[in-house]
Structure 1
Amino acid sequence: MEVKPSIVFAESVYMTEEAIKRLSNAAKVVWAECESEKELIETLNREKAKVVVSEYFPITARLMDSVPSLRGVVVYGVGYDHIDIEAASERGIYVANARGANAESVAEHVFTMILALSRKIFQAHSFVKEGKWRKREESSLPKSLTPSDLKGKTIGIIGFGAIGSRVGAIAKCFGMRVLVYDPYVPVEKVKNAGAEQVSLETLMKSSDYVTLHCVLSDETRGMIGERELKLMKPTAYLINASRGGVIVEEALIRALRENWIAGAGLDVFAEEPLKPDNPLLRMDNVILSPHIAGGSREALDNVSLTVCEEALRIIRDEVPVNLVNRRQLKTKGYRV
């Protein structure tokens, strides 16, 4: 009897019935839900796992060295800052993600925040609910409730991959000017999208809305700090649905307190969940959500199927389509 290769899920994540069926036809699927690295290593070795799927569970060099059967790591989602990419590349281990699978969900969430901020939705809602709306005349309303149109405004997109480019497409529908900062994307791609490739400094200075769509890496960690925030217009808003560590949170809190910028929409944070004493929780010029931008039902279905496909490619000894460490593996002489 042929022994199926094993695919271990480090955490409990949503997978469609179709995805589970396809995985089960080709492999033994194990739901580990481990509390510690030691426990996960034991599970991976017991199952002689070829693939581990991780949403947030750290996949370290020590784990890789402890599991000789491991050939690939599949990220449940897009962000891979919890995976030691260099260690995986040195050991010839594929790291794949579900790039693009939740792009629509994140892009729509970003624009939900942009519209809520520009139209003063939460302030207007509270104004009515608190019984402050006593006169029908518009002139009787406080200026703090005056909304702004998006048409003619400038949006600056940092990171122009699947999500960033979708945000840009939506922005064009609103009649916005689109600026892009992404040193890894060809100028032609940006131009074809009707956007302008600019420096980070120009983007921060010129944009009415700045939205972040880059992975968290050594290069991007803390890339938006005091200097960058002070470049922004006092009427501008900052949106982050990528990773909290891209922004220096202490600098952002100061920027919001001292009105360097008008406000922010945040779906991700330096530490998640937020601690009860985090100043962001007490600010009126901030919209917060609990890291759900990429979590629509449709997005989860897409992520599920993409994770399934990438895991199956690895157990068939094929190169993943959404290979995160392609450049590193190629440099080290591995097949990509």
Structure 2
Amino acid sequence: NTIDLSAARTAGVRVCNTPGQNAAAVAELTLGLMLAIDRKIADNVIDLRAGTWNKALYSNARGLKGRTLGIVGIGSIGKEVAIRAKAFDMQLAAFHRPGSSTEKEAFFDNHGIARYASVEELAGVSDYLTVHVPAGASTEGLLGEHILSLMKPGSVVLNLSRSSIVDEPALIRALDEQDLWAGIDVFADEPSASTGSIDSALARHPRVYGTHHIGASTAEAQQAVSDAVIRVIDSLETDNVLYEVT
């Protein structure tokens, strides 16, 4: 998102990344937000710290078992999310493009993932809808007014990818009018630095469980990225450069 690939090519600079190394970490936070929203974990903690006991309010969770998780993007992160959600005995569904690779088709079959030909269809059946796709022209505003309007009352939207994928004003309206909830790790108005202040209507919304763009931030993930960087550096001395972005 931050490197001018054209300028790099002109200057003869090779650009590489480390794909998939943080997939498990992002998947863990995705499931964590799902559990936190269902059990209202943050609200439980806030009330307890304030000296308030309210078992009556917090005893009405639906639970994840048997609920349908819709996944948009069965890449490295989406696959890790599916594996973990399956362990919670959730029903899995995903947006499926015709002509997917044999490996991806096998993943759908082996994990019992129902295929949906459009995001619209997927949104309509999902209790939880999570997006794990890259930012770009084809995904900008993907979760906008139309898709959100198709979701069931009480369902949950999750975005741990890039803020541009969600139309934030449309999501706020859906939270207010459709009884939706949201788990969000990325915000349009988030600071570029690791600390600072944020003025985000979405982050402040009472039906949003937000985190500080920390999806990839675990010790395990950072070690995996570091190891991959070393492999990339070593590969620069060969004819087979790893993870080169062209």
- Using structure 2 for the length normalisation, give the TM-score: 0.87
Are 2:125 and 1:206 aligned?
yes
Which position in structure 1 is the counterpart of 2:150? 231
8 Å Cα contact 2:73-2:131 kept in structure 1:
yes
Unpaired segments ≥5 residues, structure 2: none
Which position in structure 1 is the counterpart of 2:25? 105
Q: Compute the displacement of 1:103 (Å).
A: 1.2
Within the candidate set 157, 171, 187, 2:105 is matched to 187
The total of aligned residue pairs comes to 237
Are 2:192 and 1:247 aligned?
no
Which position in structure 1 is the counterpart of 2:202? 280
8 Å Cα contact 2:86-2:111 kept in structure 1:
no
8 Å Cα contact 2:189-2:199 kept in structure 1:
no
- Paired residues for 1:140-155 under 5 Å: 141-142=56-57, 146-155=60-69
Q: Which amino acid aligns with 1:214?
A: V
Q: Which amino acid aligns with 2:144?
A: G
Q: Compute the displacement of 1:211 (Å).
A: 0.8
Counterpart CA distance in 1 for 2:169 and 2:20 is 30
Which position in structure 2 is the counterpart of 1:58? 3
Identical residues among aligned pairs (%): 35
Q: Compute the displacement of 1:125 (Å).
A: 2.0
Unpaired segments ≥5 residues, structure 1: 1-55, 75-96, 326-336
Which position in structure 1 is the counterpart of 2:227? 305
Is the partner of 2:236 in helix, strand or coil?
helix
Are 2:18 and 1:73 aligned?
no
* Greater CA drift, 284-293 or 108-117: 284-293
Structure having the higher Rg? 1
- Paired residues for 1:1-336 under 5 Å: 57-65=2-10, 67=11, 69-70=12-13, 72-74=14-16, 97-133=17-53, 141-142=56-57, 146-183=60-97, 184=100, 186-198=104-116, 199-258=118-177, 260-273=178-191, 276-320=198-242, 322-325=243-246
8 Å Cα contact 2:159-2:183 kept in structure 1:
yes
Is the partner of 1:187 in helix, strand or coil?
helix
- Using structure 1 for the length normalisation, give the TM-score: 0.65
8 Å Cα contact 1:155-1:179 kept in structure 2:
yes
Q: Which amino acid aligns with 2:66?
A: G
Give the alignment's Cα RMSD to 1 decimal: 2.1
